[in-house]
Amino acid sequence: FGMAAGERKSYEYEDLDSEFDSAEKDRTSLTWRDDPLSHDKLVSHSSQHSGTLPSKQVLVDERDKEEWRSRRFHFLSMDAYSRHKTLINRYLLAVGRGIEHITRPTDKDKNDYDILKEHHRFLWNSSDTPNTWENRLAKAYYDKLIKEYAISDLSQYKQNKIALRWQTEKEVVEGKGQFICGNKICKERVNLTSWEVNFGYTEQGEKRNALVKLRLCPECSTKLNYHHQKRVWRRREKRKKEGKKKSRKHKKRKEEFSPSDNSDSSPNSDQSENEEVSESMNHLWTKCAKELVDRSKEEEFDDYFK
């Protein structure tokens, strides 16, 4: 069975086709109309409405399904915050209320500054141990302060209300409170005076005292000692009034006990007596001065060693 040159043998490979390729082709060619569930619905509806289009309810159901799929895809593609906002908006639309009805009250919110204002102390003792985290925060802030000179607030000095606090690191670098006036709104650098103030304050329901150093200019020093100077002035006024009252009483007593008959002659007699006494005293002093001038040194030494 020889074959001529140039001839090719042809074979038929019908049995080598794959069944998976045909299944994939069938799946890609399917549409929503080929779905068995929808096909059953169409068949059931076609039996009722033979020879017509599917009912409106079938179309609505299919549209709702497609819309639900698109919304689900869009919802899953959101981040967490956008998803949260969407759900809250849907909830508010369903309930019929505004956002102000579900906002959280912020009256009791506190930051670090509020906690420091509540738990800060002007002086911490060595025996004080902070137990809570608020006290530990206040103690950590207190340790950062420089407690050499104080900074004062003299805005209410007429009501005898003076506020003091310790220096911060920035104020120490600038010289505020030591080389600049310790009043927080004053920037005077000349003629500063050091004061040691017995600072009385109320802290945690207890009255406490502390000796604090202050450096103030003359104007701020008068504000610091305003009430003390006022007390001194009042004492002086009281003494003056008491002195005037005493002098008036003394005059009244003299007038009561002085004789009425010799009232006219008494001033002349007193003047003559005073003149005689003054003349005698002048005579004695001049005599003593002459004797001291006439005496020699030897006589003075003899009188001294006697």
Q: State residue 152 phi and psi, 5-degree precision.
A: -115, 155
Cα distance between residue 255 and residue 235, in whole Å = 30
**pLDDT tens, 4-59?**
444 444 445 455 555 555 555 555 555 655 555 555 555 555 555 555 677 888 88
- Give Cα separations from 29 to 23, 24, 33 (angstroms): 10, 9, 11
Does residue 198 contact residue 223 with C-beta atoms inside 8 Å? no
Dihedral of CA 202/203/208/212: which sign?
negative
Residue 263 tokens, joined: 């009232």
**pLDDT tens, 81-105?**
999 888 888 888 887 777 667 677 7
Diameter over CA atoms, the chain: 196
Identify the residue with better confidence: 10 or 166.
Answer: 166
Beta strands in the chain (DSSP E): 146-156, 161-167, 193-203, 206-216
Q: Given this model, what pLDDT does residue 181 score?
A: 93
Dihedral of CA 218/163/150/197: which sign?
positive
